[in-house]
């Protein structure tokens, strides 16, 4: 059974914002994004990451003239809710192992958030596959 709610990783959010026809998304992910009956959420840590990437010049998204545009874009244009980290998410983060090849703290907290909230996360990061054994429900946008 397909979920009715999904978290979007930073890379998916950027793909949506950069490309109106979403050419970097798989058919499965496009179907989820295009489905108006599905609730889409963005973890607050992903928003922080995208703001940093925009401010540092590591990404240039045509729809965002500045980092200040990002929150409004997510909430107003996309109508996605931003979900903030809570104590349960932090406890789950503390339980997750620190893999030698995956130490990205932003990834790890959104993985913990996804596990605790039982909301699948959509990402193009193949390292998320390692967390399936910890009950991560993961939709891989294999490019």
Q: What is the pLDDT of residues 38-66, one digit of tens each?
A: 999 999 999 999 999 999 989 888 778 88
**Percent with pLDDT over 90 in the chain:** 78
H-helix segments, 19-104: 27-34, 44-55, 69-72, 87-95
**CATH code (residue 78):** 3.40.50.1010
- Per the structure, the count of domains in the chain is 1
Average predicted confidence (pLDDT) for the chain: 93
- For residue 95, the enclosing domain spans 5-140
CA distance 117 to 115: 6
- pLDDT for residue 3 is more than 90: no
- pLDDT tens figures, 88-127: 999 999 999 988 888 889 999 999 999 999 999 999 999 9
């Amino acid at each position: 059974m397909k979920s009715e709610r999904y978290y979007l990783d930073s890379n998916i959010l950027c793909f949506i914002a950069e490309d109106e026809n979403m050419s970097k998304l798989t058919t499965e992910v496009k179907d989820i994004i295009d489905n108006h009956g599905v609730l889409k959420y963005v973890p607050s840590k992903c928003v922080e990451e995208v703001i940093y990437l925009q401010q540092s010049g590591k990404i240039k998204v045509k729809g965002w003239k500045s980092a200040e545009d990002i929150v409004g874009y997510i909430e107003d244009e996309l109508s996605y809710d931003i979900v903030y980290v809570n104590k349960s998410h932090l406890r789950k983060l503390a339980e997750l192992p620190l893999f030698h090849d995956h130490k990205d703290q932003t990834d790890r907290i959104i993985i913990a958030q996804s596990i605790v909230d039982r909301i699948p996360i959509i990402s193009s990061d193949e390292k998320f596959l390692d967390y399936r054994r910890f009950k991560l429900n993961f939709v891989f946008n294999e490019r």
